[in-house]
Amino acid sequence: MYSAIIAIGGKGDIFAVYALGDVYGTFNYNKEDLMTFHFTANGKFVNKFAADLNPGAILVDNQSRIYLLNDNMLGDGKIRVFLNTGNEIKSIGFDRFESIETMTLDRQNNIFVISGETIRKLKAIDF
């Protein structure tokens, strides 16, 4: 059994997070299993990064930056932003009682996060 989270960049690059689990549905994994993997549009491996996270969502913006939502139960609940080289460039935190369930981006790279019945817009990040 496995679980995968996948996002496709503007040039067709593939960014995937996966975790291997046993037949009963529980996840038994190590940091190597939970890394984010970057592949070209043709499937050629480029790099891997973010071994210390438990991502619940992944996005790629129009500048090829990768946004990983670190799970609130297993991680710190922050959105971590990476260059496609795997270097972390930003961390976005939330109120410790706010549980972000998922996120999306618009064409201007504004981030929309969903927490319960609330949708919140975060302005595009300037780098």
Domain boundaries, the chain: 2-122
Cα–Cα distance between 50 and 68 in angstroms, integer?
9
According to CATH, the topology of domain 2-122 is Neuraminidase (2.120.10)
Tell me, what's the pLDDT at 96?
60
CB-hemisphere CA count at 13 Å for 97?
0
pTM for the model stands at 0.82
Burial of 75 (0-12, 13-18, 19+ CB in 10 A): middle
Mean pLDDT calculated for residue range 48-63:
88
Q: By percentage, how much of the chain surpasses pLDDT 70?
A: 80
DSSP string covering 15-39: EEEEEEB-TTS-B---TTTT-EEEE
Q: What is the pLDDT of residues 15-37, one digit of tens each?
A: 998 765 544 455 555 555 678 98
